[in-house]
Structure 1
Amino acid sequence: MKVTIIGCWGGYPKVNEATSGYLFEEEGFKLLVDCGSGVLSKLQHHIAPEELNAVLLSHYHADHIADIGVLQHALLIQKHLGKEVTTLPIYAHNEDSSFASLTYKDLTEGRVYQPNQTLTIGPFIVEFLRTVHSVPCFAMKISAHGHTVVYTADSAFQQQFIPFAKECDLLLCESNFYSGMDGKVAGHMTSTEAGRLANSACVRTLVLTHLPHFGELAKLKEEAESEFHGTVLLAKQDLEIEI
Structure 2
Amino acid sequence: MRRLTVLGTCGAWPEAGRAASGFLLEYDGFRVVLDLGYATLPRLLEHCPGGRVDAVVITHEHPDHCADLSALCRVRYFAPERGARVPLYCPPGVLGRVQAMEPTEDLRDVFDVHPLHPLPAAHPVGPLRLDALALPHHVPHAGVRLSAPGLVLAYSGDAGPDPALAELAADADLFIAGATLQGTGAGDGCGSGSGSGSGSGDHQLMSAAEAGAWAARAGARHLLLTHFWPGDDRTRSVAEARGAFPGGVSAAEEGMVLDLTAR
Q: TM-score, normalised by structure 1?
A: 0.91
Match of 1:166 among 160, 164, 170: 170
- Which residue of 1 is the match for residue 188 of structure 2? none
Q: Does 1:37 align with 2:38?
A: yes
Contact 1:92-1:99 at 8 Å conserved across structures: no
Name whichever of 57-66 and 14-23 sits farther off: 14-23
Deviation at residue 98 of structure 1 after TM alignment: 1.6
Q: Percent identity?
A: 25
User: 127, 130, 135: which one pairs with 2:131?
Assistant: 127
Query: Could you say if the C-alpha distance between residues 60 and 126 of structure 1 is closer, same or farther in structure 2, counting changes exceeding 3 Å?
Result: same
Indicate yes or no: 2:110 matched with 1:107: yes
C-alpha displacement at 1:103, in angstroms?
Answer: 4.8
1:55-74 alignment to 2 at 5 Å? 55-74=56-75
The one of 96, 106, 119 equivalent to 1:98 is 96
Q: What one-letter code is carried by the residue in structure 1 that aligns with 2:174?
A: L
**Which residue matches 1:89?**
87
Tell me which amino acid in the other structure corresponds to 2:36. C
Moved more, 132-141 or 181-190: 181-190
Q: Distance in 2 between matches of 1:61 and 1:13?
A: 14
| 1:139-178 Cα shifts (integer Å, max 9, x gaps) | 0111111310010011111122113212110000000010
Contact 1:50 1:78 in 2 (8 A): no
Does the CA contact (< 8 Å) of 1:87 and 1:109 recur in 2? yes
Q: Does 1:193 align with 2:191?
A: no
Structure 2: runs of 5 or more not aligned: 100-104, 186-192, 195-199
CA contact (8 A) 2:92 2:140 kept: no
Asked if the contact 1:40/1:49 (under 8 Å) is kept, the reply is no
RMSD of aligned residue pairs (Cα, Å) = 2.0
Q: 1:231 to 1:38 in 2, by over 3 A?
A: same
Kept in 2: contact 1:103–1:110 (CA 8 A): no
Answering whether residue 230 of structure 2 is matched by residue 230 of structure 1, we say no
Give, as a single letter, the amino acid of the residue that structure 2 aligns with 1:109: D
Q: Tell me if 1:141 matches 2:158.
A: no
* Partner AA of 2:205 in structure 1: H
Q: Tell me which moved more, 103-112 or 56-65.
A: 103-112
Aligned to 1:118: 122
Counterpart in 2 of 1:205?
222
What is the CA–CA distance in structure 2 between the aligned matches of 1:38 and 1:237, rounded to whole Å?
11
Which runs of 5 or more structure 1 residues have no equivalent in the other structure?
none
- SS of 2:249 mapped into structure 1: strand
Shift of 1:184: 4.6
Three-state SS of the structure 2 residue aligned to 1:66 is helix
Displacement after TM superposition at 1:215 (Å): 3.0
Counterpart CA distance in 2 for 1:49 and 1:64 is 20
Deviation per CA, 1:34-73: give whole Å up to 9, x if none: 1111111111222214321111111111011101111111
The alignment partner of 1:187 has SS state of coil
Query: What SS is found at the alignment partner of 2:109?
Result: coil
